[in-house]
Amino acid sequence: MLALMIRQYELIDKVLKYNPKADVALLNRAYVFSMKAHGNQKRASGQPYLAHPLEVAAILADMKLDEASIATGLLHDTLEDTLASYEELENLFGEDIASLTEGVTKLSRIEFNDKATAQAENFRKLLLAMSQDIRVLLIKLADRLHNMRTLEYVSKVEKRKRIAKETMDIFVPLADRIGLYGLKSELEDLSFQSIDLLEYEKIEARMAEWRAQDNLVNRVMDSLKEELAKAEIEASVTGREKTIYSVHRKMQRKNLTFDQLTDIVAYRIIVKNKRDCYAVLGLMHDVFRAIPGRFKDYISAPKPNGYQSLHTSVIGPFGNRMEVQIRTEEMHAIAESGVAAHWLYKENRVETQESESHEGSQYKWLRQLMEHLQGLDDPQEFYENAKLELFSENVFVFTPQGDLLALPQGATPLDFAYHIHSDIGNRCQAVRVNGRVLPLRSRLENGDTIEIITSKGQKPNPGWKEFVVTAKAKTAINRFIRSQEREAQLRLGREILEKTSRRDGYPIATDKELSKVVEPLKQDDIEGLFVALAQGRAFPRQIFDILYPEQEKTQVEQEEDKLNNLHSGTKNTDTAIGIEGVVQGMAIHMAKCCNPLPGEPIVGIITTGKGISIHQRDCRNLDALSDQPDRFLSVRWNDESQTEEGAAVYTARLRMNLHHQPGTLSNVTTAVFNADANITDLHVENRSTDMYTLRCDVDVKNREHLEHVIVVLQNLSVVNSVDRVSG
């Protein structure tokens, strides 16, 4: 049956109970604006759409938030689902409310290639908005809670499951991190109900049976009250059942049946001050037998979200295992409402450094999380790292000065170093844990004291990424490695261009000249151009063709003139080309089918109208001319053509089988450049998931030079095989 929606006057009454000075006129204006903006829009349940913002505002009032947050609850969907504009909200309600509304607005208008990327990008922007003002998160959580309460009206089962899973993945851990345990538990149960209704109903039925048994909860509470009265400790005692989802989770984690559960109820003892908390703890351990390993002190070491309490498990008065939570009234308020319990009305307080620090400390983790995740351009990577941070349980460790820090379970000393500062992590050489030198990959335990030993010469190792667990450490390591790789590629790209320019007789291009090349070669900037040269995605010849078109044309004309002179017999090219034994006056060219190199046995073939074509002696194409011996000339390279100082370069074609992994092409092009050769063309012939075949044309000086290049390539781990293509 559809629940009745709250009325505006009921919402106002709810707000005035905790904030008698609330701006009622503001709330009424927001209500009227929302009603007019949403007009005749309907919810999936059939209710007027206005029911949703009213219920969201009511949830925020239950959190006792300021009227700006309540007004935003009424307005939060107007920017997305109506014709209202930011400027209109700013004019009517002020910049604070307009900004809050914009921060909460869903970002569904953005187009992405897939839903996973859309979800990840929305999550990134939600976290960014939250880090600026924690109220954005509180309003968003209230919005999600009401949507989950009405999820049954979404007709498609798969859509309900998707929304429920998103809630469990994102909004539940966010609620947990800011201490909204009541809201978190309700979101968990509502999500679980949609994800696995059969299991939900099964546990719900068993809980109802257990409740009707022997009034155990009331009998235990009476016994606890009696013991507290004897000790003259003023306290209140309550018993709270575990939620259906928490029961399910414990059954799964511990591999238990429902009947094997012994702590379905947690008993809370609430006292006046911190001293009484420890007095009650002593009493519990004196009267009842404590269960080893089940005591936690969150008062001296609060959780990052501000939660404080003593937890202990004992054998109760009737032989029952039970968990007892001991806290003060203030601690209980924080435990129930989290950061909302710390909200101080800005119009009712004088801003002081202390109050700002008090408020900011409640969500300092959120700003730290955003700092840790800066530099992650891939939304999916951001999303996964953020989820890792949100879901992590904590391990509490100390600095040498005695400061307490909370890190995720499984954190290493290196995570600790990066938590202190990225530069400390980058320069971390060794660590001492409790005075002992331990490996950087060691896992930290509660109570460890960590001392970091740094060195100016130390740099992050790519292998570090394999064992650090925090987003800040992973991001800092990735950022450093990427910057180092880019700097190396920039240097290499510039060296390739300058060396080729000197070799081919071109002037060294200035950055101003190179800026003309950026757009034609489809690069973002000059640095991108140098990186492309280093990675083999661009070639010096392409740059020369753009910068010096006239010079290139002149060179071509000069080559044509040479050929004409050869035909007319005015110039002997034996020395120029480095070939001896040719007929004077004949044009000479290297056969493209086998690309002969100085130092290799060769043969000349007389080609009608084209002069002499020089082939390798074992070129397969020569078989077709075996019946024409008169076309064969006995030729050889002269001595000058085989020297390192020879001006001519020759093209050899290679075929490589390469491992399909990041950086492969960069490694290959760098190796060729370091071998004093130059890639003039490359082509991927075929590709699989783990290997691909690359055909590559390389300019070399002679056969020995090519053999050196091949050896260098064969020594690369990314190269499976390399062969020369000829004949």
- Catalytic positions, written as ranges: 80-81
Cβ atoms of 92 and 84 within 8 Å: the answer is no
How many Cβ atoms from other residues are within 10 Å of residue 590's Cβ? 18
**CA nearest to 709, candidates 683, 665, 678:** 678
SS3 377: coil
Residues 6 or more apart in contact with residue 386 via CB below 8 angstroms: 123, 124, 127, 369, 373, 471
Interior/surface letters 121-152, b for 16+ CB within 10 angstroms, e for the rest? bbbbebbebbbebbbbbbbbbbbbbbbbebbe
By CB atoms closer than 10 A (0-12, 13-18, 19+), residue 296 is middle
* CA-to-CA separations, 8 to 49, 66, 70, 150, 408, in angstroms, rounded: 14, 16, 12, 20, 44
Question: What does the angle CA 26 – CA 27 – CA 33 come to, to the nearest 5 degrees?
Answer: 90
How many Cβ atoms from other residues are within 10 Å of residue 282's Cβ? 10
Cβ atoms of 666 and 694 within 8 Å: the answer is no
Q: What is the DSSP letter of 623?
A: G
Strand partners, 169: none
Strand partners, 724: 654
By CB atoms closer than 10 A (0-12, 13-18, 19+), residue 698 is buried
Cβ atoms of 642 and 599 within 8 Å: the answer is yes
- What are the tokens at 615? 């082939």
Cβ atoms of 105 and 76 within 8 Å: the answer is yes
- DSSP readout, 522-567? T-SSHHHHHHHHHHTSS-HHHHHHHH-HHHHHHHHHHHHHHHHHHH
Backbone angles phi, psi at 262, to 5 degrees: -120, 0
- What are the tokens at 243? 């939620």
Give the H or E element holding residue 606.
strand 602-607
CA quadruple 195, 201, 203, 207: dihedral sign = positive
- What are the tokens at 342? 């710390």
Residues 6 or more apart in contact with residue 543 via CB below 8 angstroms: 497, 509, 514, 517, 521, 529
Cβ atoms of 531 and 493 within 8 Å: the answer is yes
CA quadruple 417, 419, 424, 426: dihedral sign = positive
Cβ atoms of 36 and 82 within 8 Å: the answer is no
Backbone angles phi, psi at 82, to 5 degrees: -135, -175
Distance CA(200)–CA(192), nearest Å, equals: 7
Query: Are β-strands 602-607 and 611-616 bridged in parallel, bridged antiparallel, or unpaired?
Result: antiparallel
How many Cβ atoms from other residues are within 10 Å of residue 336's Cβ? 15
Cα 390–chain centre separation: 13
How many Cβ atoms from other residues are within 10 Å of residue 621's Cβ? 14
Say what the alpha-carbon torsion angle 638, 641, 642, 646 is, to the nearest 10 degrees. Answer: 150
